[in-house]
Amino acid sequence: MSRTSQPYLLALKRRKIKNNFMIGLIVLLSVLAVIPLFMVFFHIVRNGFASLNFDFFTKLPAPLGEPNGGMANSILGSLILITFASLIAVPIGVLSGLYLSEYKNDRLASVLRWTVDLLMSIPSIVIGLFIYTLIVLPMKSFSALAGGSALALLMFPIVAKTTEEVLKLTPIHIREAGLALGLSRWRVILFVVLRGKSSAVMTGVVLALGRVAGETAPLLVTAFGNRNWPKSLTEPTPSLPVQIYNYAISPYENWHSQAWAGALTLVTLIFVINIVTRLIFSKDGLSKSHL
């Protein structure tokens, strides 16, 4: 039809109305997406801030129902657990990622890659139960060891995957240069390839940390919980997420406010980790990888 005929103009009008409607709908829905985000932040900050005080960061939990007390032991416990988990997951994860990127065509490598992918899909509670059977029962005790191992199992696939992706991007001539200089393959991998991408690899590690810092379910059956300071790796260990959970489902107002304060602390910690990651990423000029 001609550009100025009646039917065309009519149809055009309809299309324009539909266009405005749909675009409006899209914008509306997008705004809708942001609302819960703001609400969650708002409440965490408002309620958490109100209960943050010096006690919270330095005191142990008070007997049930009594006022005051803090979550100091849980914060320390979480730090211990994350550190322990990293000590296991980082070396194994980085080396696995290395192996996968260098020997990508080996049969063993494919099996490993497959395993890493599968591990990513396991619900965290299942991993918790596995560690319970593997470590808690034989040891006859809940422990930071068990909790850290469960967290390590959760961190490992993320670290391995990121390392593999990052190292795959190393241009081949760097490897060839290393080999040309007479270095053995292993030395090339460790000293040349890895060193070049170390900050990107670290980013993967830090991202995995951020994810694991908030894990609750597996810790419920491995590290359990403790009202005292964590003293050794072979004892039940308190952690921030578990303590938040226990306090949230309790009926005590005082504990509820502490739960909010704990949530604020936890979320702040994770945010800091993520922002630090982003700053490093932009240095290397890589695009974001979504995990």
Partner 1 sequence: MEVFVIRSLLTASLVMCASIAYSAISINGSGSTFAEPIYTKWFSDYQKKNTSAQFNYQGVGSGAGIKQLLEGTVDFAGTDDPMKTEDAAKAKETVLHIPIAMGAVVVSYNAPIEGKLKLSGSVVAKIFNGQIKKWDDVEIAKLNPKTTLPSLDIVVATRSDGSGTTAVFSEYLSKVSSDWVGKNGKTVKWFTGSLGAKGNAGVAGLIKQNPGTIGYVELVYAKENGLAFAQIENKKGEFIEASNASVSASAEGVTKEAIANNFKLSITDSSRKGAYPISSFTWMLVFEKMPKEKGAEIVNFAKWALSEDAQKTAGAINYSPVPKEIRNEALKAIAKIKLQ
Partner 2 sequence: MIAVFVICVFGFLIFYLWDGSLPILKIKGLSFFFESDWDPNSDQFGALPFIYGTLLTSVVALIISAPIAISTAIFLTEIASKRISKPFGFLIEMLSTIPSVVYGLWGIFVLAPFVRDYIQPVFTNYLGFVPFFKGPPFGIGIFTAGLILAIMILPTITAVCREVFLSIPVSLREGVSALGATRWETIKTAVIEAGFSGILAAVALGFGRAMGETMAVTMLIGNRPDITFSLFAPGSTMASVIANESPEATSALHTSALSAIGLSLFLVSLAVSGLSRLITQITKHRLAK
Residues 6+ apart with CB under 8 A from 146: 131, 132, 135, 136, 139, 222, 223
Q: Measured between alpha carbons, how far is 45 from 49 in angstroms, rounded to an integer?
A: 6
Identify whether the C-beta of residue 152 lies closer than 8 Å to the C-beta of residue 88.
yes
Among 75, 245, 255, 258, binds partner 2 (CB under 8 A): 245
Binders of partner 2 in range 32-51 (CB under 8 A): 32-34, 36-37, 39-40, 43-44, 47
Q: Does 107 bind partner 2 (CB under 8 A)?
A: no
Closer by beta carbon to partner 2, 174 or else 286: 286
Is the Cβ of residue 109 or residue 286 nearer to partner 1 in the bound state? Answer: 286
Selection from 113, 237, 212, 108 nearest residue 163 by Cα: 113
- Which one, 58 or 133, has the nearer CB to partner 2? 133
Using rule CB under 8 A, residue 282 touches partner 1: no
| Candidate segments 53-61, 130-138, 165-173, 189-197, binder of partner 2 by CB under 8 A | 130-138
Q: Considering only CA atoms, which of 212, 104, 78 is closest in space to residue 158?
A: 212
- What's the rounded Cα separation, in Å, for the pair 88 and 133? 19
Q: How far apart are CA 166 and CA 158, in angstroms?
A: 12
Q: Which does 179 bind (CB under 5 to 8 A by kind): partner 2, partner 1, none?
A: none
Q: Which stretch binds partner 2 (CB under 8 A): 71-79, 197-205, 225-233, 262-270?
A: 262-270
- Smallest gap from residue 60 Cβ to partner 2 (A): 21
- 60-99 mask for partner 1 (x: CB under 8 A)? --xxxxx---------x--xx-xx--xx------------
| Nearest in space to 209 (alpha carbons), one of 114, 81, 58, 96 | 81
CB nearer partner 1, residue 100 or residue 259: 259
If the CB atoms of residues 150 and 205 are measured against partner 1, the closer one turns out to be 205
State how far the Cα of 234 lies from the Cα of 143, in Å rounded to an integer.
5
**CA gap 229, 75 in Å, rounded:** 10
* Region of 77-85, 170-178, 188-196, 259-267 interacting with partner 2 (CB under 8 A): 259-267
In angstroms, rounded to a whole number, what is the distance separating the alpha carbons of residues 155 and 206?
10
Which tokens go with 19?
């266009």
| Rg of the chain (C-alpha set) | 25
Which one, of 223, 217, 90, 100, lies nearest residue 159 by Cα?
A: 90
Answer for which of 116, 136, 153, 266 binds partner 1 (CB under 8 A) is 136
Residue 142, contacted partner among partner 2, partner 1, none, CB below 5-8 A by kind: partner 1
Q: Cα torsion at 140, 141, 145, 147 (round to 10°)?
A: 120
Residue 214 near partner 2 by CB under 8 A: yes
Q: Which residues bind partner 1 (CB under 8 A)?
A: 62-66, 76, 79-80, 82-83, 86-87, 136-137, 140-142, 199, 202-203, 205-206, 224-232, 235-236, 249-252, 276, 280
